[in-house]
Structure 1
Amino acid sequence: MQRSISTMAIAFVASLAAFAAHAADVKNIVVVHGALADGSGWKTATEILEKRGFNVTIVQQPITSLADDIAATNRVLDMQDGPTLLVGHSYGGVVITEAGHNNKVAGLVYVAAFQPDKGESLLSLASSKPSSGMNIRETPDGQYLYLDPAAFPKDFAADLPQDETAFMAKAQVFASKQSFSAKVGDPAWRAKNSWAIVATQDRSINPELEREMAKRAGSAITEITASHAVFASQPDKVADVIEAAARQSSK
């Protein structure tokens, strides 16, 4: 009888802790950047969010494989003190769809991102509704992909100054073909609330595909007139969506 009471007490305390964790304010933001870019483009959006009281961390995943990128994201998530909003741009959306199962994650934000369902990959989704920019090149070894620097301004960040896009092209992280072809398992957006930003002038992901994926996932959708680099060209608007998602995830 005593053991039964002790067991019930432990279960009760555990349930209270779980409730408290769920009800706690979401002050942590973890961002997973997309392929053919690195995390530096999130500098202004990060500064805006930090001025609003959030703790922001950018995952610099290797893009060597989807499994490697999920592991890199989980390493950062495991270091967060409390509930966290997980944000993914472009290919980063594929990563957060899997990494979003982490217990620290309170919600998901897709920024001009892929939102795959079970069994889908970036490649299968991109092929279903091709984008208007198709200037992807292979590295000499045939294992990695990159965006032609000459086409980078037009295809990735047409609404940014040319000196910025030139630097972004030079700093882009090449993506392994394996990352783009890897199929996801059960998507975290089925179990957790999600938000999505559709970049209406996107040439890297077809905007209609962004809308369809977000509607399928039941995400709260915000449309912003911007290029694929909406996080850099419209950082205030992107920060507004992320802040609203964090506030709503805290309820």
Structure 2
Amino acid sequence: MHKRFLSVVALGLAASTMAFTAQAAEIKNIVIVRGALADGSGWRKTTEILEKHGFKVTIVQEPITSLADDVAATNRVLDLQIGPSLLVGHSYGGMVITEAGNRPDVAGLVYVAAFQPDKGENLIGLASSKPAGSMNIRETKDGQYLYLDPATFAADFAADLPRSEADFMAKSQVFAAKAAFTAKIDDPAWRSKKSWSIVASDDRSINPELERDMAKRAGSDVTEIKASHAVFASQPEKVAAVIEKAAKDAGK
């Protein structure tokens, strides 16, 4: 009787472990941290594709007032998720997920034409190490915030989008505090988490060579897409495919 009881308990524990493992492998929460100079609405097509495939997508509209504020905004969204999440960051959003991704409920990181910093690095330093060309970044009158000149926004940020879409993005861009771009990374999550990187080969906002170098350094799984910096809007099917693959692989 005693042996039979122990066998039943052992079987129950085994079944529970299997169920937990299967559940852990199911990454259904996708949390997207948008970059600077464009709000989250450009992610709509990618979001709709992922949702059709059964994912729950949330987009962080961080204030871009400081890196700490933006990590806090991301944490508030992660707190709402049930189960593990995959963090996706575009451009400056890569800085944010590199810090926020240290949470135990973050299963992996996807960098989409994004900065992928190491400890002690900041956005300004990385961007200056391999300039992207002639981005027309302007300062606000108070000298505290930066924005992209609307007259050249399409060419610099979204050259492969219809002009009407690029112009709307220029009009709705989110100004970035200088403090956010100069803040240094403390503990890069990609050192302990799986990561994936999309290199936008026609990017004029971040040098594609810099994207490649950062991804190689981090040991990321790399996908190259011929697209502008707004690859998430111009190539939503391809971006969604990378995110979906990452979500499946992160749970293994």
TM-score clears 0.5 = yes
Give the C-alpha shift of residue 23 in structure 1.
2.8
What does residue 244 of structure 1 align with? 245
Amino acid at match of 1:160: L
Query: Alignment partner of 2:131: what SS?
Result: coil
What does residue 9 of structure 2 align with? none
How is 1:66-85 mapped onto 2 (pairs within 5 angstroms)? Answer: 66-85=67-86
Deviations 1:89-121 (A, max 9, x none): 000000000000112100000000000000000
Q: Which runs of 5+ in 2 are unaligned?
A: 1-12
Give the C-alpha shift of residue 22 in structure 1.
7.8
Query: Alignment partner of 1:237: what SS?
Result: helix
Question: What is the CA–CA distance in structure 1 between the aligned matches of 2:23 and 2:194, rounded to whole Å?
Answer: 13
Tell me if structure 1 keeps the 8 A contact 2:25–2:248: no
- Aligned length, in residue pairs: 236
Tell me if structure 2 keeps the 8 A contact 1:200–1:225: yes
Question: What is the CA–CA distance in structure 1 between the aligned matches of 2:129 and 2:135, rounded to whole Å?
Answer: 14
Query: Alignment partner of 1:137: what SS?
Result: strand
Asked if residue 201 in structure 1 is aligned to residue 173 in structure 2, the reply is: no
Give the C-alpha shift of residue 69 in structure 1.
0.1
With over 3 angstroms needed to count, the CA separation of the structure-2 counterparts of 1:106 and 1:22, relative to structure 1, is farther
What does residue 153 of structure 1 align with? 154
What does residue 104 of structure 2 align with? 103
What does residue 163 of structure 1 align with? 164
Deviations 1:195-246 (A, max 9, x none): 0000000000000000000000000000000000000000000000000000
Question: What is the CA–CA distance in structure 1 between the aligned matches of 2:42 and 2:140, rounded to whole Å?
Answer: 23
What does residue 172 of structure 1 align with? 173
What does residue 114 of structure 1 align with? 115
Question: What is the CA–CA distance in structure 2 between the aligned matches of 1:171 and 1:141, rounded to whole Å?
Answer: 20
What does residue 216 of structure 1 align with? 217
How is 1:39-50 mapped onto 2 (pairs within 5 angstroms)? Answer: 39-50=40-51
Tell me if structure 2 keeps the 8 A contact 1:155–1:203: yes
Tell me if structure 1 keeps the 8 A contact 2:33–2:61: yes
With over 3 angstroms needed to count, the CA separation of the structure-2 counterparts of 1:167 and 1:177, relative to structure 1, is same
Give the C-alpha shift of residue 140 in structure 1.
0.7
Give the C-alpha shift of residue 20 in structure 1.
4.2
Amino acid at match of 2:191: R
Query: Alignment partner of 1:43: what SS?
Result: helix
Tell me if structure 1 keeps the 8 A contact 2:26–2:251: yes
Query: Alignment partner of 1:184: what SS?
Result: coil
Q: Which structure has the larger Rg over C-alpha atoms? A: 2
TM-score, normalised by the number of residues in structure 1: 0.92
What does residue 66 of structure 2 align with? 65
What does residue 90 of structure 1 align with? 91
